[in-house]
Amino acid sequence: MNSTSATFLHVTDAHIAYAGTALERDDRKTVVAGLQPQTREAALRQVFERLAERLSRERRGLDGVIFSGDAQDRGRQGGHELLLDLLLSFFGPLGITAGRIVATPGNHDVDRTYDPGTAERYKDFCATWRARGCVVPWLDGVDDAGSTAPHSLVGTGNDWAIFPINSSNWCHAAAVLPEPLASVWAQLPHLASGSDTEKEGKLRHQLDALARYDMARISEHQLEQVRRLVDRAPRPEHGRQLRIAVLHHHLRAPSLREEIKAFSDISNLEQVRAFLRDREFDVVIHGHKHEHASQFDHVYDHAGDSARRLLVVSGATFEAGCRLALNRENRASVISDTYVGT
């Protein structure tokens, strides 16, 4: 590893769990004895094993691992622990410790039963990534009274710095309904189902889903905390520092595929883009869309006279019908971004 380059592994949208998550790669119309179920957990282990072998064979190490959210699958238990253990097991010999892993939560990683800005919402994420010493974002409701967790990863010589940002604080947030609708809404399942308790439960679940929004947003308070972190970060003795932001949600759609839903994009997107411009970020790495793309975004100043060029990197996942891309490299300035399809 020379002083003018760095190599990172980007992992996103693993969607794994202790109970196992199906990966229906093959078209199994006939059930045959002895065939093991295909799971995302087994596929991810194989991907990591092969990538670690290749890096070792090429005598290449890693400067860090970037995890941009959704270790869990719809909040099911185990995703965080499984993913972190796999990363340390396979890439520990290549220089990765917990302190070299940058992790930020995705919309599948927050507990929807708790309101935005509460510590309970992040209990699973914090119990693994934060408790074991990884670099994590400043979290609303967790770090309000001060923080002892690391919130940035800075390279040797301060040539590069990575700052995780949490865009999932409002994911699955409940809408605040006005009265008298709120009272009627709460009674509707019982009134409409009669004595059918199963129907009442389904109606309550469906009505609850209608009044929730998978809303991506970054709070002004968090942006201010990240501003302070960036401004206080050590600078290189010579040249510019390459600044990398990591968040779960996208700044722009990585493909032509249309997503039709409320809050499909970050609600305060222009505020976030202006923040990235003003703090002179160079690279933004995200997941969420399950698609690979690398493209430049230009954020103009208020007068429209000058623009900040950002390399926006969208990480893919692996699923049925998709090819699994190993070790695809994308270069920007002094960063070599080593990809794995997760």
5 confidence band (pLDDT: 50, 70, 90): confident
- Which of 50-54, 187-191, 300-304 is least confident? 300-304
Q: What is the pLDDT of residue 36?
A: 83
Name, in order, each residue with C-beta under 8 angstroms of 232's C-beta and a sequence gap of 6 or more. none
Residue 132 above 80 pLDDT? yes
Q: What is the rounded distance in angstroms from the CA atom of residue 135 to the CA atom of residue 183?
A: 43
Which residue is associated with the tokens 């199906």?
22
Sheet of strand 283-286, all strands in order from the earlier edge strand to the far edge: 153-154, 160-164, 242-246, 283-286, 307-314, 293-300
pTM above 0.85, yes or no: yes
pLDDT average, residue stretch 226-237: 96
Q: What is the pLDDT of residue 341?
A: 36
Q: What is the rounded distance in angstroms from the CA atom of residue 50 to the CA atom of residue 74?
A: 27
DSSP state of 79: H
Q: What is the rounded distance in angstroms from the CA atom of residue 129 to the CA atom of residue 277?
A: 28
Share of the chain above pLDDT 70, in %: 92
Structure confidence by residue, pLDDT tens digits, 95-108? 999 999 999 999 99
How many CB atoms neighbour CB 58 within 10 A?
8
Q: Is the dihedral of CA 11, 143, 279, 228 positive or negative?
A: negative
pLDDT average, residue stretch 180-193: 94
Q: What is the pLDDT of residue 325?
A: 43
- The better pLDDT of the pair 117, 303 is held by 117
Residue 321 above 70 pLDDT? no
Opening angle at CA 319, ends 317 and 321, nearest 5: 125
Domain ranges of the chain: 6-26+35-173+216-340, 176-210
Q: What is the pLDDT of residue 331?
A: 32
Fold assignment, 6-26+35-173+216-340: Purple Acid Phosphatase; chain A, domain 2 (3.60.21)
Share of the chain above pLDDT 90, in %: 82
334 confidence band (pLDDT: 50, 70, 90): very low
Q: What is the pLDDT of residue 322?
A: 56
